[in-house]
């Protein structure tokens, strides 16, 4: 007997830890989530789907009376970029993809119930696609419509900026010329050259193959290492004593200091808006999914899914 599991699924896949496949499902238009308030089957989908030779393919799931078959799952796999197709050799990834197809079918049903398929602009596009792509178009159209009016406001952005000001603060920085040498004696020679005003090229020529000289920005973050301790204890133009580091000795001259700076809102506004928009859309999707699934009848044939083997 075929093992069939009836599920009223939870929206856990869109909160907390994200599956590594979700960005992929989004790209191919499968992560359009939703449900169905009614029990109206998709009129363009029959009880079973036949392959090109006319043979029925195994049904993996039933969604409010409509079906998802192995042919649907295989087409979804082939719709992904080729490097990712190998992921579907693994059963957990096939399950993830099947759930995305279920979500898409549910929301496509809801879109039809609300008449989106009869709107001229959408109806015209539907006439040029098959059932598989029709569901994708309808699901995305419904989700876009549902998310209208969810724009992030200036007040939202300002509040987030104030709440996370520490994240937008650049630490104090020092631009230094540093000389690293294999021993204390060579480091002392480099220090004297720094005191005499030698530039980085002269110091490197002096060192030959006995060390390295470079100019770098050092930042005052967390627990300071010996380089940072030396740099932030000096004023521009001053030269440190020689000090031991891992693998040798070093000395440095401070060229410039830049104090800590809170980046102005104008610099980070776009990033804040994008992050808030993403978070709000995820929350809205979750609420939508919870509401629409209440009356959705979904069954998954776990045995048929386990028996299905994807071969590249």
Closest CA to 176 of 242, 223, 228, 243: 228
pLDDT surpasses 70 at 312: no
> In 286-299, which positions are buried (b, 16+ CB within 10 angstroms) versus exposed (e)?
bebbeebbeebebe
Minimum mean pLDDT among 133-142, 182-191, 284-293: which range?
284-293
pLDDT of residue 29: 52
Longest dimension (CA), the chain: 89
Facing residues of 298 across strands?
7, 63
79 Cβ neighbours under 8 A, 6+ residues apart: 28
User: 50-84: per-residue pLDDT in tens?
Assistant: 444 445 689 999 988 899 999 999 999 998 888 88
pLDDT of residue 281: 84
User: 249-278: per-residue pLDDT in tens?
Assistant: 999 999 999 999 999 999 999 999 999 999
User: 27-58: per-residue pLDDT in tens?
Assistant: 335 443 333 333 333 433 433 444 444 456 89
Domains belonging to the chain, first-starting first, are 4-151+273-307 (no CATH), 172-259 (3.10.50.40)
Q: pLDDT higher for 293 or 101?
A: 101
User: 108-143: per-residue pLDDT in tens?
Assistant: 888 999 999 999 999 999 988 888 889 989 988 988
Round to whole Å and give the CA distance between 287 and 11: 9
pTM of the model: 0.56
The DSSP line for 58-87 is PEEEEETTEEEEHHHHHHHHHTS-HHHHGG
Round to whole Å and give the CA distance between 130 and 206: 73
């Amino acid at each position: 007997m075929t093992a069939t599991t009836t599920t009223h699924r939870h929206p856990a896949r869109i909160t907390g830890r994200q599956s590594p496949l979700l960005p992929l499902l989004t790209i191919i238009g499968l992560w359009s989530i939703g449900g169905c308030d009614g029990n109206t089957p998709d009129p363009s989908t029959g009880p079973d789907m036949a392959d090109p030779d006319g043979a029925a393919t195994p049904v993996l799931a039933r969604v409010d009376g409509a079906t998802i078959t192995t042919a649907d799952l295989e087409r979804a796999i082939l719709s992904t970029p080729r490097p990712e197709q190998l992921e579907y050799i693994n059963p957990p990834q096939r399950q993830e993809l099947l759930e995305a197809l279920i979500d898409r079918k549910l929301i496509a049903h809801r879109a039809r119930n609300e008449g989106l398929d009869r709107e001229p602009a959408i109806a015209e596009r539907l006439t040029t696609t098959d059932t598989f792509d029709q569901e994708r178009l309808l699901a995305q159209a419904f989700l876009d419509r549902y998310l209208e009016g969810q724009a992030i406001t200036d007040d939202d952005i300002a509040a987030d900026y104030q709440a996370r000001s520490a994240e937008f603060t650049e630490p104090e920085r020092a631009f230094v010329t540093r000389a690293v040498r294999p021993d204390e004696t060579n480091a002392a020679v480099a220090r004297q050259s720094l005191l005499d005003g030698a530039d980085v090229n002269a110091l490197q020529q002096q060192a030959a193959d006995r060390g390295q000289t470079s100019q770098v920005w050092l930042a005052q973050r967390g627990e300071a290492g010996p380089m940072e301790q030396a740099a932030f204890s000096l004023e521009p133009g001053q030269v440190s004593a020689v000090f031991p580091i891992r693998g040798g000795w070093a000395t440095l001259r401070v060229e410039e200091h830049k104090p800590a700076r809170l980046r102005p809102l104008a610099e980070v506004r776009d990033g804040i808006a994008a992050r808030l928009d993403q978070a709000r859309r995820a929350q809205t999707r979750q609420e939508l999914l919870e509401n629409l699934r209440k009356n959705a009848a979904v069954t998954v044939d776990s045995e048929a899914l386990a028996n299905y083997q994807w071969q590249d």
